[in-house]
Structures are given as C-alpha cells and as structure tokens.
Structure 1
Amino acid sequence: MALGVAGCGGDSQGAAKPLAATATSAAPTPSVQAALGLVDDQESTDAGKAIEVKVLGNDSVTLKDGRTGNVETALTAGQFTVSVDAAPAHGTAAVNGTTITYTSSPGYGGDDEFTYRVDVAGQSLTGTAVVRITLAKPTPTPTPKPAKPAVSYANCDAVRAAGVDPIHEGEPGYGPHLDRDGDGVGCESWSGGSGGSTGGSTGGGGGSTYYDNCAAVRAAGAAPIHAGEPGYGRHLDRDGDGVGCE
C-alpha cells in the first residue's frame, strides 16, 4: 500500500520541497478598566472654626489609556468636578475648586461627616468618599458674678440705722471718719452709755456721758470739752490737742 505525506512535495527526481510558512495571529491586548480610587478622610478642629479639607490628596484614578495617578495630577482642571453628595448634619460644606470648606453649627461639639463626589468627564467615572470630622466642644464662658454694690455711711447714725454697729475695719462701709479713736472699730458703744447725747456727766450712778458730735456738746453747753471731762472723745477732738469742739 502506498502512503502519501501531506504538505510535502517533490520533483520528478523525488527531491523534497520545503514546507510553506504559516502566519500566527498575536494575542489581543487586554483593555484597561478605568476606575476611581477615592479614600475616606479624617479631620479635627475646634467647634465653630472653619476647616479646609483637601479631599483629593489621597485619591487616585486609572484612565482608559492606562495612565494612573493622583486625581489632581493625572487629570487637568475641567476634566473632573468635585461636589458635595451628602451634606453634614451639624454644619455646612462648601466646594472651593478641589477643596471643601467645612464649618460647624454655632455651639456644636462632637462628630460630624459629609460625603463628596468626583465625576470624570469622558471616562464615565464617578465615585464618592466620606469626610469625618471631630469637633472639640467649646469651653463654656463663665458668667461673671455681679459686683457687690459699694457701701458707704455718712456717719455713725447711718451705721446704727443699718444695724451694723459697731463696724470693723475691712467690713463694707467702714471708714476712718467712723472710727474716731483709730482702733479699727467704728461707731462702738461707750461703756455704760445710753447711746444718746446728754448735757453733762451723770450722777453718782457710775454712768458715762457720751456725745455723738460737737452739736450735742454745744447743745449741752459743754463746749469746748477737754480731755478728762465727761463725754470727751477723740471723735470730738479733730486736731488731737486735748480740747474738743473748740
């Protein structure tokens, strides 16, 4: 039985001919899948203080032509947009080009968040990420205590009428004009005195004579009054020469 070899040829003398080369097709190049890689952000600030968030700082993009990199470097202005997709619950978020400025509501302290969105023109790309913000609570302003009204007494009659006699140095309303003997106690009662003005010394009962002022001394006919005389006191002797109401 005769066998034939396919693909082999020969001339009449039986010489073999070379096989014809066959072309092979190249494998198809896989297409690049465009994608956005948006990463959430975390920020902190004081309550009521605005903060600018650079939301694209950690975001990447892969384009259909195979280029990849940070969104702001791989794309030019106008090829993408940034917008607020979900507003914060306790403040405002305003887009400024490629950044977003967050401002909390007055007096709010705690956590807040908003969602931003990136759209790439001509690439059918869109994506979102969340910005979480921690706000330090405001320090309450202490309410100042109202200042106590200034107290002043014109004389010991006013002190006694207010029921604060004797009045001591350091107490509200104390003044040297109320403390004639300079002992730190003003408008004190004289030992055994009745608190009133009399015209002279008491009798043998051991009482004392006291004059509130020189008017009482003169009314009693005891002016001028000398040191050692009944009723004399330093509050009646302004110049301290031992003679009062002269």
Structure 2
Amino acid sequence: MNDTAKPEKGALAKRLPLIAILIVAVIGFFTLREYLSFETLSDNREALIAFRDNNYLLTVLVFILIYVVIVAFSLPGATIATLTGGFLFATFPGALFNITAATIGATIIFLAAQWGLGDKLAAKMNSSDGAVKKIKDGIDENQWSMLFLIRLVPAVPFFVANLVPALVGVPLSRFVISTFIGIIPGAVVYTSVGAGLGEVFERGETPNFGIIFEPHILLPILGLCVLAALPIALKAIRGKKGL
C-alpha cells in the first residue's frame, strides 16, 4: 500500500503547478476581465505616465513582472499588456520588454506542463506503435519548423502554443529560442499600436485590434509561415519519392 501511495503522491505533486495555473486562469477569466481592459488603461494613463517619468526602471521591472504573471497564468489582458508596453515605452524598447516578458511567462507554463505531464506522455508516445508513434516522429523531425509555425500563425492560441510542445518532449532551449523569435512579428505590430495610443485617447477612440489581419501586416507574416512550413513540405515530398 505504501509503495503504491508514494508514486501517486509524487505524480500529484508534479501536477500541482499545472493545476494551480489552470485554477488561477479560470478564476482570472471571470474576475479580471473588467480590470485588465483598454478602458482601465485609458482611465489610468496619466497616472501611469507620471509614475514612469519618476520611476522609469521600477516601472519597467513592475511591468515585466505583471506581464509574466498574465501570460504564465493565462489571464485575460495579454493584448492590453502588449499595448501598454508600447504606450509606456514606445515601440522600442517596448517591444523588447513585451517579448521578454511573454517568453518568460510562456516558459513557466511549458515547464509546469512538462514537469507534470510532458515527460510521462512523451515516454508513452515513444514506446507506442502505429499512428501515435508516427505523429510523435513527425513532430520530432520538424521541431524547429513546427515551433516557429505555431508562433507565427495568428490563429493558434498562445496557451496552446505553450502547452503542446511540453507534451511532445520539446527541449527547453529550443522552446525558449523559438518562442522569443517567433513572437517578434506580432509583438512589434501590437507594440507599435500601443505606441500610438496617445492620439487614440485624445480622439476618444479605441485601437484597431484587428490590424494584424490587414493585408500589409498579414501577408508578410504569412510569408514567414510559408518559410517555416517549407522544410516540412520538402521532407514530406522526399519521403513520398523514397516510397
């Protein structure tokens, strides 16, 4: 009885960080939506600017910490946080702060999922046969391309892009590098929108959150997606020729 209880307790302990993230995410979804909003940013913009002007380094550190928490616990408001980075710090270094914070937050989710589920699930997939093993092998053969692809495609939810790599055994260093580089295009776009919020506030308007889907923005990102998918397509073609 004791021998079986210890592994079960160990497995539960490993899953606690991921469980905590999921619980906080659910609570945050229902309680923080009104606070982490564009209206909140608009109402507090003067106070934020005054605090930044008097405490620039502290503002940077607090901003990055809040952004990390938002991403790590999948709280609502990641887009608003990105806009705030641009509003407070301009496109640069605002984009750098946004990308750094988002990467740290994503890595926390990745580690929690990998520690709680990833290693065990990856081992099962490696020892399995048939379709499951083929899927795992396909991901392993094209990890860099797949990781960049899920970051670049706007339709892939950020939480999903953080969780899936952990469940298929992607190495931490590869996840961090692909996340940092892969989110640059979208982060720069939304940070630049945030940098122009002063004029938006003066006109009493709201920012264009759908700007990333406009042709002059979307087409270059889709081009990057094609480049990321190209190695996968080439391997698939070579594989068919080999058959």
Calculate the TM-score normalised by the size of structure 2: 0.19
The structure with more strand, counted as a fraction of residues: 1
Q: TM-score, normalised by structure 1?
A: 0.19
Higher relative contact order (CA 8 A, sep 6+): 2
